[in-house]
Amino acid sequence: MKKFAILLLAVILVACSSAPTAAPTEPPAPTVAQPSPTPVVIIQTVIVEVEATLPPTEVPSATPLPPPTNTAEPPTAVPPTAVPPTQAPADASATSGLITVDQSLGAGWFTNITLTKNVLSLRCQINKEITFSVKPLDPNIAQVDFYYRIVDRSTGSAFDWQNSGRMPPDTNGNFVLAFSGDDVNANFRKPNAWFDFQFIGLSKSGGVVGRSEKIEQQVTYTFDCP
């Protein structure tokens, strides 16, 4: 009995061992991954024209004036600067208009001795000319000669008297002469001088009838405007 059991067991074991063994399932073949398409990067250059705007040039603003200084009193107005005279004597004034000379200087022979200015200049146009006028008192005086001399004010030197010629008569019995600064003898011109003058009355024949006084230091002679 025991042997039978062992035999049965052996048969069972053989039967079991001879049963077909299921073939093992083969693993699926590995899936070969298809390479994904490589993305193509397209670089497109875009040229954009940009207008450069430069910053405006700064204009320097005017330097601000400092604020006025407060003072206790308002500032005094400054008068306009006067142009200094050129080579003008201290007491010379270019007086315009009719100037009447002291009648006593007519010495009894002349009256109404007048002049239009008391400054005579060589180059200054406003004082370029003086008109002298005189009226004889004696009826025998038919013509009048005008004499002048230059006296240097700096040294006191007086030049010789010069005869400037006849004074033309007018319709009122006066003798009138327009004398220019150019009429002064070029050898006797001084920039700071007195212009002295005298009237000499002559008869029709040319003889001297009477003379006025030497009228001195009444007119200033200059080269330029005072």
Mean pLDDT of 126-135: 96
Give 97's pLDDT tier (boundaries 50, 70, 90): confident
Kindly report, residue by residue over 72-87, the tens digit of the pLDDT: 443 443 333 333 333 3
Domain ranges in the chain are 96-222
Kindly report, residue by residue over 168-204, the tens digit of the pLDDT: 999 999 999 999 999 999 999 999 999 999 999 999 9
Kindly report, residue by residue over 141-167, the tens digit of the pLDDT: 999 999 999 999 999 999 999 999 999
Is the domain spanning 96-222 CATH 2.60.40.10? The answer is: yes
Q: Is 175 exposed, middle or buried (0-12, 13-18, 19+ CB in 10 A)?
A: buried
Query: What is the secondary structure of 127-158 as a DSSP string?
Result: GSEEEEEEEESSTT--EEEEEEEEEETTT--B
3-state DSSP assignment of residue 215? strand
Q: pTM of the entire structure?
A: 0.57
Tell me what pLDDT residue 7 has: 56
Mean pLDDT of 211-216: 97
